[in-house]
Amino acid sequence: MLRLQKKGNPKNPWSTEDLKDGLTHFYQKHGHYPTATEFDAYPYLPSSRQIERRFGGLVALRQQLKLDAQTDLRTGQHSSNRAYKINQRAHKLENEVYGFLTKMFGKEFVHREYFFVDDKRTRADFFVYDRNNGFCVDIFYPSNRRNMSGCLNAKLDKYRSEHMQQYPVIFLQMNKDINQETLDKLVRNKIKVLNKSQSLMGWDTFCNFCQKRGQLTIT
């Protein structure tokens, strides 16, 4: 029988038996051992930071406990399955946004994979031609609030070139469990700030933004 220790009880330090039972319980429920984010969210395991300090990381802990299943979730079948699911979700979300933009602005005015310069890297997911000279949209899906900042920092690094500051850029996060208030708070508290042409939006805010932009017409 598994002995499950719960988070938040400082009187009972985590023994290796507690950790092994918690990991076994997680594996029985999910079919894989937890990532750092899953470790932090699971009630029967301590924080991933504690494991880093004590064992040198999650991989080292699983090795020390001699767990049978694949140790490093960054490689192998688990990693391949995860990458496949992420790619499938990204494709679905891009199609959703494309359908919305073409309905709002017209198919001829929505450009997918807009390249700013001819280096095959400096591109936005979409460029929309409108009455205000156009805007760019870059889509991403943070799995939770914890990795939101890292995702946004990666976007800011990508768009730091002056070539990519010619038009307004909307960083559109598509996790609808994260509201605009959370996004605005993140932007206010960031050390790496957005420039005046960049905005971080959730879906509802983005829809309102598009409705206020004038559709370009051909005369």
Structure tokens that stand for 83 in this block: 């990458």
Q: Are residues 162 and 55 in the same domain?
A: no
Is 199 within the bounds of a domain? yes
How many independent structural domains does the chain possess?
2
Q: How far is CA 211 from CA 101, 105, 207, 214, 219, in A?
A: 10, 9, 6, 8, 22
What mean pLDDT is reported for the chain? 82
**pLDDT band for position 184 (50/70/90)?**
very high
Burial of 67 (0-12, 13-18, 19+ CB in 10 A): middle
Is 109 within the bounds of a domain? yes
Nearest CA among 32, 48, 45 for reference residue 6:
45
Q: How far apart are CA 59 and CA 52, in angstroms?
A: 10
Which residues, other chains included, contact 43 with Cβ-Cβ below 8 Å and sequence gap of 6+?
6, 7
Q: How far apart are CA 56 and CA 78, in angstroms?
A: 22
The better pLDDT of the pair 150, 80 is held by 150
Confidence (pLDDT) at 71: 46
Last residue of a domain, one of 53, 74, 95: 74
Domain that holds residue 56: 16-74
**pLDDT band for position 172 (50/70/90)?**
very high
Give me the residue label for tokens 């092994």: 20
Q: Are residues 91 and 156 in the same domain?
A: yes
Whichever domain contains 148, its CATH number is 3.40.1350
pLDDT of residue 84 exceeding 60? no
pLDDT of residue 147 exceeding 80? no
Confidence (pLDDT) at 85: 64
Is 7 within the bounds of a domain? no
Confidence (pLDDT) at 110: 94
Q: Is the pTM for the entire model greater than 0.85?
A: no
pLDDT of residue 113 exceeding 50? yes
**Across 50-54, 81-85, 126-130, which has the greatest mean pLDDT?**
126-130
